[in-house]
C-alpha cells in the first residue's frame, strides 16, 4: 500500500503542476486581453473549490487560490450565460439591469457589449497564450541547456523492411524526413510513427553526399516508453546512440526564440497531420491520450529528468527541466484543442462571433444552448474514449485480470 501511494504521488503531483501551469496561462491570456479592452472582470482563480487565499486588487478583481489545483478560470462581470454568447433578448435584459444598477454607459465595460472583434480577440487570446508559453519554455530551455544531438545514424537495416526496400545502408545518417530537420533518432521515430502507409521522403548523408530515399513505413505493434503498446509506422532501421557522437547545439536568445517557434510549429503540424489521417481512416486512434497517459508522462518525465543526479539539487533541476519541456508540449495541445470550432471551447465562441458578424445579430439562445449541449457531449465522449484508450494502452485491464486470476 505504501508503494502504491508513493507511485500515485510520483504521477499525480507532477501532473497537477503541469496542468495548473498550462491552464492558468491559458486563462491569463483571456484575462490580459479583456483588461486591455477595459472589460470588467469579477474573478481570476488559480485552482478550483474553496479558496485557501484571496484578495481584491485596485481594479476590483478578486484573485483567489483554490484548494484543488486543476487549472483555473477567469469570470467576466455579467457572464452568467454558460455559452458566453447571449442572444438579443438576453443582451437587452442585461443592459437594462446594468444601467439601472450603475447608470447609463456602464454597460460599455461589460464583455458582451464590446465590439465583436474585441470579443474575438479575447476568445483567441487563451489559445494564443498557450502557444506563447510553449515558445517561451522551449526558448528558455534552449538558451540554458542547448539541444543535445545524436545523429540518426543507421546502425542496422531489418531484412525485408521498408528501409531495405528504399535503399537505406548501414552508416547512412538521416538529416531530414518529410521536409523536417532530424537531429536524433527520436526525431526520426516521431515522423515515422504517424506515416504508416504514406510514402515519405528521407534525406540521408552517405560518403559525403546527400541522397533522397523514399520509403513507406508499415504499421506494427510496438511498446512505448510508458509501458503501453500502440500500432504505429515502422521504417525498419536500428540506431544506437553513442556518447562519442553526442553534440550540444548552443543557442543565443534570438536563436532560441526561433528554435522555440520551430518546435511549437512542428507539434502543431504533427497534430493537424495526425487528425487529418485519423478522420480519413488512414490512422488509428492509438495515439489519442487522455488524463491517465498525461499523468503517467508527467511522472515519467520527472523520474527520467532526476535519474542519475548526484544530489538533491541536481535531481530537482533535472525533474524540473523535464516537466517544463512536457508543459510546453501539452500547452501546444491545449491551445490547439481550444481553437476547434466546438461550442463551449474558444473556437466555438469564435464560430458564434463569425455568425454574429455576418448576420449582424447574435445567434438565437435556443440554438446556442443546443450547440452547448452537443459540444459538451462531444467533449465528454472524447474524454471517455481517450481514458478508455489509456486503460487499454497501459494494459490496466490485463493487469487487473492477472491480479484477480
Active site residues: 27
Measured between alpha carbons, how far is 257 from 274 in angstroms, rounded to an integer? Answer: 26
Contacts of 148 (CB under 8 A, 6+ apart): 184, 246, 247, 248
Q: Are 336 and 268 in contact (CB under 8 A)?
A: yes
Q: Which has the closest alpha carbon to 188: 173, 198, 199, 166?
A: 173
Q: Are 383 and 289 in contact (CB under 8 A)?
A: no
Contacts of 92 (CB under 8 A, 6+ apart): none
158-190 per-residue burial string, b: 16 or more CB within 10 A, e: under 16: eeebbbbebebeeebbbbbbbeeebbbbebbbb
Largest CA distance in the chain: 81
Amino acid at each position: 500500500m505504501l508503494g502504491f501511494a508513493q507511485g500515485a504521488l510520483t504521477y499525480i503531483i507532477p501532473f497537477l503542476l503541469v496542468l495548473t501551469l498550462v491552464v492558468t496561462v491559458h486563462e491569463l491570456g483571456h484575462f490580459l486581453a479583456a483588461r486591455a479592452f477595459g472589460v470588467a472582470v469579477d474573478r481570476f482563480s488559480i485552482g478550483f473549490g474553496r479558496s485557501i487565499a484571496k484578495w481584491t486588487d485596485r481594479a476590483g478583481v478578486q484573485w483567489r487560490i483554490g484548494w484543488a489545483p486543476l487549472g483555473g478560470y477567469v469570470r467576466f462581470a455579467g457572464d452568467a450565460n454558460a455559452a458566453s454568447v447571449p442572444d438579443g433578448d438576453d443582451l437587452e435584459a442585461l443592459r437594462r439591469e446594468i444601467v439601472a444598477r450603475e447608470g447609463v454607459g456602464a454597460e460599455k465595460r461589460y464583455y458582451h457589449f464590446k465590439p465583436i472583434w474585441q470579443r474575438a480577440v479575447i476568445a483567441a487570446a487563451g489559445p494564443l497564450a498557450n502557444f506563447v508559453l510553449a515558445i517561451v519554455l522551449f526558448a528558455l530551455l534552449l538558451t540554458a541547456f542547448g539541444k543535445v544531438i545524436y545523429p540518426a545514424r543507421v546502425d542496422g537495416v531489418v531484412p525485408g523492411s521498408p528501409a531495405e526496400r528504399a535503399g537505406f545502408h548501414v552508416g547512412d545518417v538521416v538529416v531530414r524526413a518529410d521536409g523536417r530537420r532530424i537531429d536524433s533518432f527520436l526525431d526520426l521515430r516521431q515522423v515515422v510513427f504517424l506515416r504508416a502507409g504514406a510514402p515519405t521522403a528521407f534525406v540521408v548523408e552517405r560518403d559525403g553526399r546527400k541522397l533522397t530515399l523514399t520509403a513507406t513505413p508499415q504499421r506494427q505493434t510496438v511498446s512505448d516508453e510508458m509501458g503501453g503498446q500502440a500500432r504505429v509506422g515502422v521504417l525498419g532501421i536500428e540506431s544506437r546512440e553513442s556518447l562519442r557522437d553526442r553534440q550540444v547545439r548552443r543557442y543565443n536568445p534570438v536563436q532560441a526564440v526561433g528554435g522555440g517557434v520551430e518546435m511549437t510549429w512542428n507539434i502543431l503540424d504533427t497534430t493537424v497531420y495526425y487528425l487529418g489521417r485519423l478522420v480519413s481512416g488512414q490512422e488509428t486512434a492509438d495515439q489519442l491520450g487522455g488524463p491517465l497517459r498525461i499523468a503517467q508522462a508527467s511522472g515519467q518525465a520527472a523520474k527520467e529528468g532526476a535519474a542519475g543526479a548526484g544530489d538533491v539539487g541536481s535531481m530537482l533541476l533535472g525533474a524540473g527541466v523535464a516537466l517544463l519541456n512536457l508543459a510546453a508540449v501539452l500547452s501546444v495541445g491545449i491551445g490547439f484543442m481550444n481553437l476547434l470550432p466546438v461550442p463551449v471551447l474558444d473556437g466555438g465562441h469564435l464560430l458564434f462571433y463569425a455568425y454574429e458578424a455576418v448576420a449582424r445579430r447574435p445567434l438565437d439562445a435556443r440554438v446556442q444552448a443546443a450547440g452547448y449541449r452537443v459540444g459538451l457531449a462531444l467533449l465528454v465522449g472524447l474524454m471517455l474514449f481517450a481514458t478508455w484508450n489509456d486503460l487499454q494502452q497501459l494494459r490496466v485491464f490485463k493487469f487487473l485480470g492477472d491480479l484477480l486470476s
